[in-house]
Every structure is written in structure tokens, then in C-alpha cells.
Structure 1
């Protein structure tokens, strides 16, 4: 019972934090060039799989209230789910632990560039390759540059505490 309560609370906190960070900065969070600050959280599944659901729900909530409607609710959320699941698998199966966070950070970049880029093209008429490049660039800046640095700093300083807490 206690573990379920802890898992539900963790999922709710992560989902709320992701959605709040996205919605608080709509100019950066939506559009062909996206710098969703909340995307730094997509590296959390390296700590544990329990973060996958919270991140997916947070993205779903942010996309419900975002400007792109049903296509983003479906495909944007799917892109986040696939990304964070691949981040988790990278952490679980990669042997070289020193480069794990860097390699894992590339999944949100690639997956979102492809899925969201195609979504922007099909549903909103943006040029396909330009959309993929812009979404990928935003993800790279936030997740691979900012997220990796933040993850390493936080994990080095508070890693044991975070694992015990959640």
C-alpha cells in the first residue's frame, strides 16, 4: 500500500511539474521551434521507470491546454512516451555508464524531431524537413545540452537521496 501511494504521488508530482513548466512558458513551449524547459525532465527515467508515466501524463496535460489541439495531444504525447521509454531502456541496458546520459538524451531529440516534425507538416502545413530540424534543435539545446549538465550536477550531488526518496 505504501509503495503504491508513493508511486502515485511521484507520478502526480512529475506530471504536474512537467505541465506547469510547459504552460508557464508558452512562447518557448509550443511552435515549430520549441524550447520546452520541462523536457529536461525526460532524463528522469535514467533514475527509474516510475517517471515514465508522470512525464507522459504531464505532456498530455500540457498538450490538452496547448494551441495545437488533438494532433498534439495524440502525437506529441506519443513522442514523449516513446522518448522516455527509450531513455529508460538506455539506462537499463547500456554498459558504458559514463556516456549513458549523453546517449539517452538523444532519444527525445530524434523521436520528437521525427514525430512532432511530421505532425507539424501533416496537420499544420509546415515544411517537413525544416520542422524536423527546428524541433530537433530545440530538443537538443534543452535536453542534450541543458538536461545532461543539470542531470549530472543533480545526480552527483543528490543522486542517492533521489533514488531513496522515489
Structure 2
């Protein structure tokens, strides 16, 4: 891997990790709870412009979730988020890069990946931390994993979709009008797609 690619991966990782920790400090459970609006997920649109965003976003997610073990007091249960949360981010970013020429389809990647993966382990984390009901509801966690998974699937998908629609899509349009696409796109990608990224429509 060239020095330029390493720098792009590191930059994406730093952006995602710092934005996620900011969300943790100032949004609390809205960034890590059963109902999530993690604003840093808007940075997944970076994968529309460079494949280096895929490992970068995954690394940033791993770092942020590791920091949450310390700041959020999740203990060893937080390792579930480090492993599977990172997997969700990596798969979502890979989808975004794969379908980058169709922006609306590309941005479904993080929504689908997080909606399917995160609710599978989040109830276990919350139960281990002493949260036995979903906030603002009477839905109990004890013995109700299928119900919690269904609830989490919908809640996570909605939260992710809102963040990408409200923050991610405008950010992507702004980046597409900037010099960034030409600076970070691989040479082979430019050869295959001579039209500027800014011409693609959601």
C-alpha cells in the first residue's frame, strides 16, 4: 500500500473516530443506545469517492467503539461493539463503494448492514449494563431477544437513514463539487468513469 493510500485510510479513520467520540460525549445514548442517531455515520459517504474509505471507516469505528469501552463503562461487553460494529461499518462502506455510481443505492449499504448486525448484539450489551427495558418504553430485554432484534432492526435502520439523508447526502453533494473526487479516486476508476462524480444524482 502506497504512502498516499495509507494517509487516506488514516484520515478517514481519524475523522470517523473523532466524530464518533464527539457524539458519545455530547449525545450519549442517542449515539450508542437502542435508538441511535450517530452523526458520524454521515462520513460513510466518503466511500463514494475512494475505496480507501472502506478500511479507514472500519478502523475509525473500531477505535471509537474501543474508546467507548473506557468512556461508557461497557467493559468486556464493549468488545462485541468493537468486533461486530466494525464489521457492520466495513460491509456498509464496501457496499457504498461498490454501488458508487448509483448514489441512492450506495447509501443503502450502511443502513442495511447496521440494521441487520447491530441489533443482534446490542440487547446483550444493554442487559449486561443493567438496562432491562428499551428507553421510553416498557419493552423488557429479559427473555425477549427476538422482539428486541425486531425493534432494533427498525430503530437502527431509521436512525441510520435519517443521518445519511439529513447529513450524509448533502455532505456528499458538497464533496462532489469540490476537488476531492479527482484527488482521491484511483487512476483505474477515473479511466473507467471519466464523467465527474458531481454528475451523479441521488
Residues of 2 paired with 1:122 and 1:78: CA distance? 17
Q: Which moved more, 1:144-153 or 1:58-67?
A: 144-153
User: Alpha-carbon deviations, 1:73-116, whole Å to 9, x = none?
Assistant: 1110000011111111112xxxxx4xx11111111111101100
Partner of 2:175: 154
Separation in structure 2 between the aligned mates of residue 117 and residue 133 of structure 1, nearest angstrom: 9
Q: For residue 92 of structure 2, what is the aligned residue in structure 1?
A: 83
Alignment of 1:69-148 (within 5 A): 69-91=78-100, 97=101, 100-125=102-127, 126=141, 127-148=148-169
Higher helix share: 1
How big is the shift at 1:149?
Answer: 2.2
Aligned with 1:32: secondary structure?
Answer: coil
Count of residue pairs the alignment pairs up: 154
1:94 maps to what in 2?
A: none
Structure 1 residues without counterparts, runs of 5 or longer: 92-96
TM-score, scaled relative to structure 1: 0.85
Which of these residues, 25, 31, 43, is aligned with residue 33 of structure 2? Answer: 31
Larger-Rg structure: 2
- The CA RMSD measured in Å over matched residues stands at 1.7
Q: Secondary structure at the match of 1:149?
A: helix
In structure 2, what is the Cα distance between the partners aligned to 1:124 and 1:103? 32
For residues 146 and 123 of structure 1, what CA distance do their matches in structure 2 show? Answer: 28
Most deviating of 53-62 and 146-155: 146-155
Quick one: distance in 2 between partners of 1:87 and 1:35?
19
Checking the alignment, whether the CA contact within 8 Å between 1:39 and 1:142 is kept in structure 2 is yes
**TM-score, with normalisation over the residues of structure 2?**
0.71
